Structure formats: structure tokens, C-alpha cells
Homo-oligomer: A and B are copies of this chain.
Amino acid sequence: MGVSETFKALAAPERRKILDLLKHGKLSAGEISKQFEMSAATISYHLTVLKKADLVTESKYKNYVYYELNTSVVEEVMMWFTELKEGK
């Protein structure tokens, strides 16, 4: 829930790719997993990191787990950058 977790989450290309995939809407863990070479367990790990950083939210339907981009945290980090740039 802190800025460190957010940046840490964004530091891995795999996780940024996941966010990119989610730009156009919800996807299940499996649908996300298919876009990578890594094991489903590893993708699950990356999804957990993104979830802890509040960059995605999850919802369940049947035996699927859907992930969705959480743009409010993106706003928060943009704010951080703006303040850095403006020397506030």
C-alpha cells in the first residue's frame, strides 16, 4: 500500500506487460498466463505482487479469477512524479 510497493511492482517487465494486457479490460489468470512462457504459478506470483501494490483488483466468477487494472493508484504515482518535477 506504499509508493515503494508500487514502484517495485512496476520494475519488472513481466508485470508491466500484464498491466498492458489489462488496459482493455478484465482477464482471467489463465488468459494472462497464456501470453507468457512462464508457469502459471509464476504468473500467479506476479499477479499477487500487482495486487499487493494495488495496481490490480481481483474478482471471482466460477472457477476463474479475473484481474482488472486499478487506475486510481496510477493517479497517485503520477502525483508523486509531478511533485518531484515541480520541486514542491
**Chain A residues within 8 Å of B, Cβ to Cβ:** 3-4, 7-8, 10-13, 16, 19-20, 23-24, 69, 71, 74-75, 77-78, 81-82, 84-85, 87-88
Contacts and interface: CB of A to CB of B under 8 A. Distances in A.
Nearest to A23: B87
Nearest to A12: B4
A19 B84 contact: yes
B4 A11 contact: yes
Main secondary structure of the interface of A (DSSP, over half): helix
Nearest to A69: B84
Contacts of A13: 3-4
B16 A3 contact: yes
A24 B87 contact: yes
Contact of A7 (B10, B69, B75, B78): B10
